[in-house]
């Protein structure tokens, strides 16, 4: 066989073998997101803001496991809630136990409060929680299957001040992130006033063939959990709900007074809110105050603002006075909220809000040649130890590319060390804005930098 054909055969065989070697790429799961380095500045900002606010208002950080007993959520969120029925990631583990990935934070926090005897601490116990939650929702813009929440829970306080304080914190959180929001607020009363209201509500839905116009889910809810008819996200159901009797008209005296007090505190603090009679929240455990934080309608970009805001709520919460007892603890009033971090980031990006670049450094260390590289590796550690924000590119050899990186890092000065400077016992200080370079004594470089940039704080 002529040589040339043999070569072609070899090539084909090689390509075939290479294709076989290339393994199938496994992409991320639907509804899950990677957080890439460029995105982290938003996370850092939100975590910082949440931490500062929580600390100011006396909330202490805690965490709970991602996996919990499935029953924890079935019992707390309610067996007929969307979270439990449709959205929970649950499975049977190797020991045959029914497990769930947490779909919300509150049940785990309450379990922890009871399990660790936090009722023995001075009340209220004010807890700050931040972490991922999982819901098998239909993925779309702003709706993921893994997302993160910032939660505050105030456990052991029945006073309306506690509700108002939480709503105020959410308002300040968004205001300080320069996002315009409108707090939607309602009261769903207590078990006794709700009983009377539910009769009125069921009668309303039975009137004049309203039932037939409801979505399939709402037809089922009418029998199981009629309150949920009010906050269905389907357009036809929302139109009917707008004419439904309002729960605030059925509140007992205690619940009415509690609600009025919450609103009075908010008025005093000048916190805007919208009384929203159809807001009930989707979980069984809420009583009295419920609230949601919606992007202000001016910020809705398409479709009906009201509809869009409802579906893109940035956060929500309320009072859950019966939950601790229902979960096996002592009767303990409590309230809390959860804010969806990814949605807040989407809003910040949408509004192009400028962010401080935390990655920015004070100084860059550049080198020319291996002996210089060794010396600046030592100098780098000395400057970093002294509290300067130093940046470097030890693995690069080319000075031009190092200076480009120094520019990207936004530093004020670059220190340049080459063969000549090593021989002379000097180093160059380059002012990155003017491009002017000065020669300084290598031994005095730290003092020289301190003179120009000031001494950095050494606090940890
Ligand atoms: P909820 O407990 O359902 O009221 O959720 C509290 C907040 O979490 C919401 O207001 C949203 O900001 C956020 N959130 C809820 N579900 C999702 C989701 N599937 N993807 C992203 N964020 C969500």
Between helix 341-350 and helix 40-56 the angle, nearest 10°, is 120
Q: Ligand 1: does its nearest atom lie under 6 Å from the Cβ of 104?
A: yes
Mean pLDDT lowest among 50-59, 116-125, 204-213, 239-248: 204-213
Which residue among 147, 179, 317, 344 has the greatest number of ligand 1 atoms within 8 angstroms of its CB, and so is best to mutate?
Answer: 147
Q: What is the pLDDT of residues 374-386, one digit of tens each?
A: 999 999 999 999 8
* 37-190+252-351 and 363-453 in the same fold: no
pLDDT at residue 306, as a whole number: 62
Which residue's CA is minimally distant from atom 13 of ligand 1? 340
Q: Ligand 1: does its nearest atom lie under 6 Å from the Cβ of 78?
A: no
Task: Break the chain into its structural domains and give their ranges.
Answer: 37-190+252-351, 363-453
> From the alpha carbon of 316, which atom of ligand 1 is closest?
4
Residue 21: exposure state from Cβ atoms within 10 A (0-12, 13-18, ≥19): exposed
Q: Ligand 1: does its nearest atom lie under 6 Å from the Cβ of 33?
A: no
Q: Mean of the pLDDT values across residues 308-336?
A: 92
Which residue among 338, 342, 346 has the greatest number of ligand 1 atoms within 8 angstroms of its CB, and so is best to mutate?
Answer: 338
Q: Is the pTM of this model over 0.85?
A: yes
Average pLDDT, the chain: 91
Q: Ligand 1: does its nearest atom lie under 6 Å from the Cβ of 295?
A: no
How many angstroms does the Cα of residue 340 sit away from the middle of ligand 1? 5
Q: Ligand 1: does its nearest atom lie under 6 Å from the Cβ of 135?
A: yes
How many angstroms does the Cα of residue 69 sit away from the middle of ligand 1? 21
**What fold does the segment set 37-190+252-351 form as a domain?**
BirA Bifunctional Protein; domain 2 (3.30.930)
How many angstroms does the Cα of residue 133 sit away from the middle of ligand 1? 9
Q: Ligand 1: does its nearest atom lie under 6 Å from the Cβ of 231?
A: no
How many angstroms does the Cα of residue 141 sit away from the middle of ligand 1? 12
Which residue's CA is minimally distant from atom 14 of ligand 1? 340
Which residue's CA is minimally distant from atom 4 of ligand 1? 316
Which residue's CA is minimally distant from atom 21 of ligand 1? 143
How many angstroms does the Cα of residue 438 sit away from the middle of ligand 1? 55
pLDDT at residue 401, as a whole number: 96
Q: Is the pLDDT of residue 271 over 60?
A: yes
Q: How confident is the model at residue 308 (pLDDT cuts 50, 70, 90)?
A: low
Q: What is the pLDDT of residues 273-282, one digit of tens each?
A: 999 999 998 7
Measured CA distances, 453 to 335, 386, 436, 448 (Å): 48, 12, 17, 9
- The angle subtended at Cα 49 by Cα 46 and Cα 54, nearest 5°, is 120
Mean pLDDT lowest among 3-7, 61-65, 268-272, 322-326: 3-7
- Torsion sign, CA atoms 252, 254, 257, 261: negative
pLDDT at residue 228, as a whole number: 85
Q: Is the pLDDT of residue 305 over 60?
A: no
Which residue among 184, 343, 348 has the greatest number of ligand 1 atoms within 8 angstroms of its CB, and so is best to mutate?
Answer: 343
pLDDT at residue 4, as a whole number: 54
Dihedral angle computed from the Cα positions of residues 102, 103, 107 and 111, in that order, rounded to the nearest 10 degrees: 0
Question: What is the percent of the chain where pLDDT is above 90?
Answer: 73
Question: What is the percent of the chain where pLDDT is above 70?
Answer: 94
Q: What span, in angstroms and rounded, lies between the C-alpha atoms of 257 and 188?
A: 13
Q: Which of 34, 307, 312, 269 is nearest to 179 (CA)?
A: 312
* Architecture of domain 363-453 in this structure: 3-Layer(aba) Sandwich (3.40)
pLDDT at residue 219, as a whole number: 86
- 141: tokens are 């813009």
Q: Is the pLDDT of residue 352 over 70?
A: yes
Q: What span, in angstroms and rounded, lies between the C-alpha atoms of 276 and 297?
A: 14
Q: How confident is the model at residue 302 (pLDDT cuts 50, 70, 90)?
A: very low
> From the alpha carbon of 143, which atom of ligand 1 is closest?
20
> From the alpha carbon of 139, which atom of ligand 1 is closest?
19
Q: Ligand 1: does its nearest atom lie under 6 Å from the Cβ of 384?
A: no
């Amino acid at each position: 066989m002529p040589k040339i054909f043999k070569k072609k055969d070899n090539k084909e065989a090689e390509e075939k073998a290479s294709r076989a070697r290339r393994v199938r790429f496994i992409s991320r799961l639907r509804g899950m997101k990677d957080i890439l380095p460029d995105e982290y500045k938003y996370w850092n900002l939100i975590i910082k803001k949440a931490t500062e606010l929580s600390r100011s208002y006396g909330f202490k950080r805690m965490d709970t496991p991602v996996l919990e007993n499935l029953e924890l959520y079935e019992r707390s969120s309610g067996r007929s809630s969307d979270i439990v029925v449709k959205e929970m990631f649950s499975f049977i583990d190797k020991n045959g136990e029914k497990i769930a990935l947490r779909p919300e934070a509150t049940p785990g926090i309450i379990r922890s409060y009871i399990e660790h005897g936090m009722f023995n601490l001075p009340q209220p116990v004010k807890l700050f929680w931040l972490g991922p939650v999982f819901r098998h929702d239909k993925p779309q813009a702003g709706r993921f299957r893994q997302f993160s929440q910032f939660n505050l829970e105030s456990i052991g306080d029945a006073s309306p001040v506690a509700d108002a304080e939480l709503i105020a914190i959410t308002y300040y959180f968004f205001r300080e992130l320069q996002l315009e929001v409108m707090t939607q607020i309602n009261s769903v009363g207590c078990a006794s006033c709700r009983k009377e209201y539910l009769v009125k509500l069921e009668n309303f839905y039975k009137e004049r063939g309203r039932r037939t116009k409801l979505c399939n889910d709402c037809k089922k809810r009418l029998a199981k959990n009629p309150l949920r008819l009010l906050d269905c996200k389907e357009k036809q159901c929302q139109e009917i709900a707008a004419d439904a009797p309002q729960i605030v008209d059925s509140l007992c005296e205690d619940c009415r007074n509690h609600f009025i007090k919450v609103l009075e505190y908010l008025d005093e603090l000048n916190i805007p809110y919208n009384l929203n009679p159809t807001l009930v929240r989707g979980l069984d455990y809420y009583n009295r105050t419920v609230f949601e934080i919606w992007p202000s309608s001016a910020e809705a970009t398409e479709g009906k603002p009201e509809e869009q805001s409802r579906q893109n709520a940035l956060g929500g919460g309320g009072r859950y006075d019966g939950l601790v007892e229902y979960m096996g603890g002592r009767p303990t009033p409590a309230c809390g909220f959860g804010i969806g971090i990814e949605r807040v980031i989407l809003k910040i990006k949408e509004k192009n809000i400028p962010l401080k670049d935390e990655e920015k450094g004070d100084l860059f260390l550049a080198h020319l040649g291996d002996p210089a590289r060794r010396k600046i590796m030592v100098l780098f550690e000395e400057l970093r130890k002294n509290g300067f924000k130093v940046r470097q590119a030890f693995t690069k050899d080319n000075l031009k590319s190092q200076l480009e990186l120094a520019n990207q890092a936004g530093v004020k000065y670059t220190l340049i060390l080459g063969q000549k400077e090593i021989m002379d016992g000097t180093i160059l200080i380059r002012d990155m804005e003017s491009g002017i370079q000065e020669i300084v004594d290598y031994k005095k470089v730290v003092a020289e930098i301190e003179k120009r940039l000031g001494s950095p704080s050494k606090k940890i």
